[in-house]
Amino acid sequence: MTIEDVNTVAEALVNHLKANGVGGTDGVVEFYPNDTVPTSNLPESFVEVVGNGALSTPVSDFGIRSCSLLLILNVKLPGDGAANSVRESYLLNRISNAVKNPFVRGSYHFSLDKKNLVYSGRSLYAGYSSKTMNFNVKIY
């Protein structure tokens, strides 16, 4: 499995979220797969999907490849610096509804890691809060 394979899997997750009501035409959230986040003019909220950890082909599952993806929800903080919990909850609910565990998109089988909230707190982007979830992916 190559980095390009992981990039394709990340795009499949983004497409699944879009097709299931996250983001959509209302412009609630923008998506940036594979480290494509712009360096300026960030939207009010956005989702990054990137590879996480090693790429593998388990010996016991010959022909099946696997990888992990991080889904990172970033929400702009209000002027007082407190978390925008209403917007975060709204977006997390939309994501949750779209990723009923497990789900399939083409030959990709996604499952939200049972310890799904990897990080919750301030984002690496100034003025944003962040929620990070891990997805395990098997490719058949």
Q: With H, G, I as helix, E, B as strand and everything else as coil, classify residue 65.
A: strand
Q: How far apart are CA 136 and CA 57, in angstroms?
A: 13
* Residue 102 DSSP code: S
Report all structural domains of the chain as residue ranges with CATH numbers, in order of start.
Answer: 3-139 (3.30.2000)
- Read off the DSSP letter of residue 21: T
Q: Which residues touch 5 (CB under 8 Å, ≥6 apart)?
A: 55, 65, 67, 139
Total-model pTM: 0.85
The predicted-structure confidence for 15-61, as pLDDT tens digits, reads as follows 999 888 887 555 568 899 988 899 888 898 999 999 887 667 766 66
Share of the chain above pLDDT 90, in %: 19
List, in sequence order, every residue forming a beta bridge with 48; answer none if it has no partner. 32, 72
Give the whole-angstrom CA distance, residue 52 versus residue 134. Answer: 8
